Each structure stands twice: as C-alpha cells, then as structure tokens.
Structure 1
Amino acid sequence: MEALPETKLLRLFDVLYTEGSVTGAAEQLGLSQPTVSIWLAQLREQLGDPLFVRTSKGMQPTPRAQALIGMVRDALDALRQIGGAAPAFDPAHSDRRFCVAMTDASHVNLLPQLLGHLRQSAPSIGFRAGIIDVTLAERLQSGAVDLALGLIPELGAGFYQQTLFTQDWVCLARADHPRIGARLTLSAYRREGHIEIVSGTGHHLLENALRHARVTRPVVLELPGFLGLSAVLETSDLLVTVPRQTGETLASRGTLRLHPCPFPIPPFTVKQHWHTRFHQDPGNRWLRHACMALFGTTPAARLQPSPA
C-alpha cells in the first residue's frame, strides 16, 4: 500500500477523534468509507496501535490516541500557519532596522528624501546608510544590507535589479565665476582648473568619455567623494563634472551654476538591487516600493534578475 502524506493522516486522526465514527469522518473529509478504513489501517500500522476501537458508543480512542491528540492538533495548527499568508509588514509600528548601501553622491541626492519618508511613514524604523564596496554582494546575500542603490554592474546572478532613473552629466562652477558666463564652452572647459571625483563607477564613464572626445583638462584637486565639494567650488574658480542629479542638488542654494557639458558623455541608469533570498520578504518589498515611489522616473521600470 502506498504511503499517504503525513498531513492527510494527521487530519484523519483529528477528525476520527472528534467524530467517533468512520462514517462521520468520511463525510467530513469528503471521502468514501472504504478509503477512510484504508487510511486508518495505515495509521495503525505506522503507530503500532489500534488507535480507535469500536464500542457501543462508537469508535473510541485508545490511551495511545488520547496521548497523541494534543500533538496532532498542534502539528495541524503549525502546518496551517506555515501554509498561510506571509505576515504583513506594518511600517507604522515596526522597529526593524534597514541598511541601504549607496554612494556618497546618493547621500547628497537620495538620502534626505528617503530619510524624510521613513521618519514620516515609519517613525520607529532604524536606518543605516552602508557603503558600496567589494563585499556588497556578500552583505546583500546575508541580509546585512537590505538594498543597494546606484550604478553597480558587478552584481551578477542571484540578484534582482530595478531601474529607478537615468542620469546624464553636467558641469558646476561658482555662479560668479570670472571667466565663465551663461554658457560653458569646450575651450573654457579645456582651459579652466578642475576637481576630479575619483570614486565610483561614474568616474570611469567620465574618463572614457574624455578619452573618446580627446578632451584634456587640468585637474587641480582630486577628491574621494562629494563631501566638501560645494564649499570648494564656492571659494575657487574650479569646475567639476558630475551626474545631473548631484549637480542640481548642489546648485539649488544659488551659489553655484549648472552648465551643460560641452562634449558628449553617455548617460547611465541608477538601479536598486536586492538578493533573491529577500525578494518576497514583506519588509524588503515595502522598502523597494518606497524607493520606487520616491525616485522612480522611468515609465516602465524594469524588474529583472541580474545577468549571470
């Protein structure tokens, strides 16, 4: 006789204990009486006990069945909970701590909006801005990082990615720069001193574009990131070439002026990335949806696993 799944046998045990008859159990389970009898025989064989015996009062449980009924019902309750819907994530009352890995450019562009949204809709949630480095894939897989925002082409198989927005490039200089008017020319770009931001994948895109356009520029200052950039620009005659969103944020105070780049630089897409382990996690899903609502600008944002 082919063994039945344990769930069916546990259900039969519980119904027989409650109904006290094979006929009643068959009706409850939507089975024929011969089928119930076959299942009961299998139960008896597996447990080495008659379990239920016929009496003048119907099928009565043996002491062994009485000792097991509590465990059987606990097991059925546990199986029902496992098979039920995943618990919902309630941001208004959750005290979960999220970590989002991002570049320091995102600290300028994205972090204020994201933190403001979290403080309003999830006041008890903790938040940490993590770094993007060679350990990122491992930290996303382990759950130490929930989400990563940026241009991160090195993340391979096992990760989902979703496009948030596309970035092109702009130049920044102080608003009262003595040699640059309303329009930055290519000759002025070649002539003026520059600040170079040497971190991140975007730096390589800019360097490749400069080589392709055969544009040289005098680099006066190299910075590892955007910290202090606006203060240096405001107090010098230097230029910097940055992604548009960063430039617009830094220029919003009015002391710096935004200029179109005088040579072509290919745009790039900023995406959010997460590991497949957490694709169905309710909290992770809520965080991703929040980032898409805040930053998503593409009409049909792509959701796909990263290429192998």
Structure 2
Amino acid sequence: MKKDAAPAPLLDAHLLQLFELIYDTRSVTRAAEQLDLAQPTVSIWLGKLRRQLGDPLFVRTPSGMLPTPEADALIGTVRQALESLRYLAQREARFEPATSERRFRICMTDASHITLLPQLLAHVRSVAPGVRLGAERIDERTAQRLEAGEADLALGLIPELDAGFYQQSLYNQDWVCLANTRHPRIGEALSREIYAQEGHINIVSGTGHRLLDASLERHHLEHRVVLELPGFLGLPAIVSTTDLLVTLPRHIGETLARLYGLRVFPCPIPIPGFTVKQHWHSRYHNDPGNRWLRELCASLFLRDRSGE
C-alpha cells in the first residue's frame, strides 16, 4: 500500500522575514544587520530557506544578491503572509461601548433588580446607548449558562460557583429589619424580645435566607412567620400596611426604606454577614466586552456597605 506523503514543512516566520529583507536590500549583510543577527546565522537560515523552497532564490552578482525568477514569483505571497502575521501580532481585541450593540446577560437576584440594576442601566445608557442588558435568574443552571456564554456575569452570593470561575468581591452585607413607621409596639429600638414576639415576613428566595434561618436555629429563637414571599415584589406594600417585620440584607433593606418610607432597625440577633461578588467563567476572562462590563460593575459597586 502506498504511504501518504508527509506534510510539507511550514516556513518559519523568521525565514519569511529574511526572504523579504534580502529581496529588498539585495544583501545578506544588510539583512543580518536589520535582523540583529550574525552573518553566519543568516547564511544558515538562507540555506534552510533554499532547501525548503527548492530554489537558490538569490544569486550573488556584482550588483548584489539578485532574485531568481522563482523568488520574483514568491515575493508577493511572502509579503502577504508577513502582513497577516504582523496583523495577528499587533491585533488588540477591543470593545467600543459607544458604538457596540451587544447584548449582555447578567444573573442576579430580584433584590439586585432594585438595588443594582437601576444604577447599572443608567450608566450603560449614558456611555453605551446601543448596548442591551438582560437580567437572568440565579438558579441551578447559572454555572452552566456562564460557561456556555448564555450569560456574561453573575452578581450576588453564589457559593456554588468555584472551579472554572473568577470572582471579585464588591461589597459586604449585614442584616437589618424593616417595620411600618406606625408600628404599635416598637419605639426607638427593636429589642430581641419584641423581635421574638412579632409576626414576620420570610423571603425564601436566594442564598441569604439560609443564613438567617440557620442563625435563628443556632440562637434557639422563635421566628413566627406569618407570610412567605418568593421575592421582594409587594414587600414594601405589605410592611407599610401591617405590623409584620422582615429581616433582610442591609442594601435592599435601606433601599426599600428610602423608597417607601419604612423604618430600619439593626437586627437584634447576630446573623453572619456575607459578601456580594461578581462571577464570570474563565472562558471569557479575556473577552473585551466581558472585561468592560466587569470593570463597569466594579467602578459602580466596589465598596464596603456594611457600615451604611
């Protein structure tokens, strides 16, 4: 059986550069000077180039190293190949927010829809008017979507994102309680005793509520839940028209209190704080658009809110 022919060896970029320099200067010596190489090294390279192309390429004459007809025929292809290589070497992938029409998808909690998204959207509209944002849920498919490029970034407390993911801490969170400004049994402060006696709203979405439940159990404190909600939609209306309390992270708590005229109290029981982070997959770490979005989120949200 006839063996397949061996593939032709690839020409080294340095050999192509030598070909071009000798063609232009008609001199091995001047080519060596421009390459900052010893002339014997250049002579070795020229011999290799001749063997690979199967032609003398350049012939020594009183007028210098003149190209053979084969070299004349090849110079255009060589220059085109070198131009392509120079383009690849100098190419810098860029993202131009002012002209981009890219759609970015960000996984976030519904609390972030209230606390982070308005500020992010306002800034994006001012510097990147053609860019579109899509808010995605954080769920069991978040890691898969980030890896597949179906989502660009995830914001929040997402401890399950570890291997294959980058992360950056943005701000710290502790816990507060919200109450109606006309609550009949709360004065200037919210005591542990009143906290234990009152009815509560429990927000069951996200990772943070597990910290709350674990802390209540650890301190053997009753938490009389009257209403469970899947998120923060409707929460301000309920708190402002009932005597129910709600315990929630400081950022969303203070934001809702400011927007809807609710009272904010330090939480009377110790609940572990946590850090809100942005997460992205390693596949897109060097993607210019992803990098721009990460830097934008960092510029807007990178600070410690635990003392606010």
State the distance in 2 between where 1:232 and 1:75 align. Answer: 69
- What's the RMSD between the two structures over aligned residues? 2.1
State the distance in 2 between where 1:75 and 1:28 align. Answer: 19
User: Equivalent residue for 2:31?
Assistant: 25
Q: How many residues align?
A: 297
Moved over 3 A (4+): 54-58
Name the stretch that deviates more: 4-13 or 33-42.
Answer: 4-13
State the distance in 2 between where 1:42 and 1:181 align. Answer: 91
User: Equivalent residue for 1:99?
Assistant: 105
TM-score normalised by L of structure 2: 0.89
Q: Which of 198, 206, 216 is equivalent to 2:204? A: 198
Q: Which of 260, 266, 269 is equivalent to 2:275? A: 269
Q: Which amino acid aligns with 2:238?
A: V
State the distance in 2 between where 1:157 and 1:166 align. Answer: 23
Q: Is 1:218 matched up with 2:242? A: no
Give a deviation string over 1:84-141, Cα, whole Å, max 9, x none: 2623333222222212211111111111111111111222211111221122222222
TM-score normalised by L of structure 1: 0.89
Per-residue deviation, 1:56: 5.4
Residues 140-159 of structure 1 mapped to structure 2, 5 A cutoff: 140-159=146-165
Identity between Structure 1 and Structure 2 (%): 61
Residues 140-179 of structure 1 mapped to structure 2, 5 A cutoff: 140-179=146-185
Q: Which of 239, 255, 263 is equivalent to 1:233? A: 239
Q: What secondary structure does 1:253 align onto?
A: helix
Residues 1-308 of structure 1 mapped to structure 2, 5 A cutoff: 6-55=12-61, 57-84=63-90, 86-298=92-304
Name the stretch that deviates more: 151-160 or 205-214.
Answer: 151-160
State the distance in 1 between where 2:54 and 2:68 align. Answer: 12
Q: Which amino acid aligns with 2:219?
A: A
Per-residue deviation, 1:260: 1.4
Q: Is the 8 A contact 2:236 2:260 kept in 1?
A: no
State the distance in 1 between where 2:303 and 2:80 align. Answer: 49
Name the stretch that deviates more: 263-272 or 13-22.
Answer: 13-22
**Any unmatched runs of 5+ in structure 1?**
300-308
Per-residue deviation, 1:77: 2.0
Per-residue deviation, 1:5: 7.3
Q: Is the 8 A contact 1:163 1:298 kept in 2?
A: no
Q: Which amino acid aligns with 1:184?
A: L
Q: Which amino acid aligns with 1:173?
A: A
